[in-house]
Structure 1
Amino acid sequence: MLIVPEREIANLMTRSAAFDAVESVFAAMASKNAYNFPVIREAIGHEDALYGFKGGFDKQGMTLGLKAGGYWPNNLEKHGVINHQSTIFLFDPDTGMVKAMVGGNLLTALRTAAASSVSIKHLARKDAKVMGMVGAGHQATFQLRAALEQRPFEKVIGWNYHPEMLPNIEKVANEAGVPFEAVELDGMVEADVVISITSTFEPTVMAKHISPGTHIACMGTDTKGKQEVEAALLGKATVFTDEVAQSITIGEAQHAIYNHMIRPENIVQIGEVINGTHKGRTSDDEITLFDGTGVGLQDLAVAASVVELAVKNGVAIEVDF
């Protein structure tokens, strides 16, 4: 068995490699060559933690495995480690034997950012100039770095529940040579692309905040009850997702389905756009919305990629298991 420790990931995995891995697995899902297993996510009754498993099998890439982990809200304050903790396990699909154990914390951030970046590549208008960020936490910095590589953005605007955190994303914009402006939510009407990356159970982004022709990536809703955007916005948009089953149960679409704003058959897997079996955006006035719920196959794809890089660079640890 190979082990790739968390400490090695930053020197191995690039945004480009994460993008390629996620785009490829989305295409495989739409082609029915890869599928996710049902998600398990539970409150464990200790330290207010949520713990669970995501997994799947990619027959095209011959990747089988799972990610185990969750959210410990007291970690940073009590233990000095980040609140999100995860580990990815890969297995040999021919024998079932364990192949690798990979640190999953940074990979989770990279694959989540890659997913929204893939959606921008395939769904945002080609002439998009203003990038909007709703949320300014740790994950938002990964999201913005990846997004700025997909279009020649001329400006970044941002809003956060806690305005004192906005310098997090302002720094990323400045590093990319793009000016930044803090705005109120009403100011998001200026954006051509919006990424929402918050952990809320009530909508923040309303339909009135999104202009015709905008692409919005909703990346924070991955649990039953969470909600970042008004259900009516999904009713006005063409809705795409990583996986429909997750979108309607734990993703942003769960609320629009409940309120009869959309139907499950109205939601399109983004892999269909990547494969060319769905046309994607059809006009400059169309609002496109990507419901990024985060699927296990994303984790397996980036983990398999990083294992190859670790072996190539001689940093994978081999153990007799």
Structure 2
Amino acid sequence: MSDSKQDKGVSVVSETVCQEVMGRSDAFTAVENVFSAMAKDTAYNFPVIREAIGHADALYGFKSGFDRDGMVLGLKSGGYWPGNIEKGLTNHQSTVILFDPDTGKLKSLVGGNYLTAVRTAASSAVSIAHLARKDAKVLGMVGAGHQSTFQLRAAVEQRDFEKVVCWNFHPEHIPNLEAVAKELGLPFESVTREELCAQADVIITITSAFEALIEKDWVKPGTHIACMGTDTKGKQEVDAKLLTVAKVFTDELAQSITIGETQHAVAQGLIKESDITPIGEVINGTKPGRTSAEEITVFDGTGVGLQDLAVASVAADLAEAKGLATYFNL
């Protein structure tokens, strides 16, 4: 960090500025790089704290970590307030706090709401880039909430998709996703879950389900599935038996087997931790990804703090370089 940059004090990057400076390409690169660093053990997440606060039905917590490759240290603080939507606010609220790894001094405060959506979409996009068949043509979306639009935009940049098929528990939300597909010039069809599996070459699940939405026998050979909604103990999006016939990858093993999609298959003894490969190993070329056109691949995207820190650091750098950050001194 230069002296001139230090003299400005602590940078503040608002939600609006994050949306202005942080694009999907930058997010993809940041997430891919941090997955690579995690696999090399040069970046690591600290234990997650997540608690019900006993007020407003809110869940609140911290995710933190240190990336030695990117020299990023900090934490994401925030959670889920289910009543916010009625107040015109996003249910998920978060802020990223970055520190100077050399001194421990506060460096930046960065809005985390938009970045959380962007980094989650980047995570599934990284999995598609490294694991989906090159000739994948149909994208299946299980879930049509707010996050699904970010997922769709990021996914279509990884393969030459010709069609989008969708299922959502609340059908009235599907037109929001359909509008994005049409904007992207892609035909869109609302289908049953079984029909979605029959058509899709790539499936993204982005729901808050606590039961399997996709059955093992529905999934055709060669499919890549990115499970992006399971991030809490008890949540589940796909049949645990599906993982016995798939090649399974994740962002972080510790979270995958405790709060991620693999928690159920591991608990039932259907697969072992050693059957799960960190996607960073594939990115680094130390472990194989897809090895045949017939393989079913599953990515368990649990969401780790290092993803938030990576995109927040890039957003802060871009905002500062473009003169869009504000500053204060403690």
TM bracket, shorter-chain basis:
over 0.9
Identify which of 187, 196, 215 aligns with 2:195: 187
* Alignment gaps of 5+ in structure 1: none
- TM-score of the superposed pair, with normalisation by structure 1: 0.99
Are positions 1:131 and 2:139 aligned together?
A: yes
Aligned-residue CA RMSD (Å): 0.7
Are positions 1:144 and 2:152 aligned together?
A: yes
SS across alignment from 1:53: strand
Are positions 1:54 and 2:94 aligned together?
A: no
Q: CA deviation at 1:98?
A: 0.8
Taking the aligned partners of 2:176 and 2:287, their CA distance within structure 1 comes to 36
Identify which of 76, 100, 104 aligns with 2:108: 100
* Alignment gaps of 5+ in structure 2: 1-9
1:36 aligned residue: 45
Q: CA deviation at 1:168?
A: 1.4
Identify which of 240, 265, 278 aligns with 1:231: 240
1:115 aligned residue: 123
1:157 aligned residue: 165
SS across alignment from 2:212: coil
SS across alignment from 2:94: strand
Q: CA deviation at 1:270?
A: 0.3
- TM-score of the superposed pair, with normalisation by structure 2: 0.96
Are positions 1:270 and 2:268 aligned together?
A: no
Q: CA deviation at 1:175?
A: 1.1
Taking the aligned partners of 1:278 and 1:116, their CA distance within structure 2 comes to 19
Taking the aligned partners of 1:268 and 1:52, their CA distance within structure 2 comes to 27
Taking the aligned partners of 1:230 and 1:84, their CA distance within structure 2 comes to 27
Taking the aligned partners of 1:200 and 1:70, their CA distance within structure 2 comes to 18
TM-superposition CA deviations, 1:104-144 (whole Å, max 9, x none): 00000000000000000000000000000000000000000
| Correspondence list, 1:1-321, <5 A | 1-77=10-86, 79-188=87-196, 189-321=198-330
SS across alignment from 1:203: strand
Taking the aligned partners of 2:233 and 2:34, their CA distance within structure 1 comes to 24
Runs of 4+ in 1 over 3 A off after TM superposition: none
Taking the aligned partners of 1:41 and 1:248, their CA distance within structure 2 comes to 17
- State, as a whole percentage, how many aligned pairs show the same letter: 65
**Does the 8 A contact of 2:11 with 2:109 survive in 1?**
yes
Q: CA deviation at 1:164?
A: 1.2
Taking the aligned partners of 1:125 and 1:216, their CA distance within structure 2 comes to 11
Taking the aligned partners of 1:127 and 1:180, their CA distance within structure 2 comes to 19
**Does the 8 A contact of 2:130 with 2:283 survive in 1?**
yes
Taking the aligned partners of 2:299 and 2:274, their CA distance within structure 1 comes to 15
Q: CA deviation at 1:208?
A: 2.2
Q: CA deviation at 1:234?
A: 1.1
SS across alignment from 1:280: coil
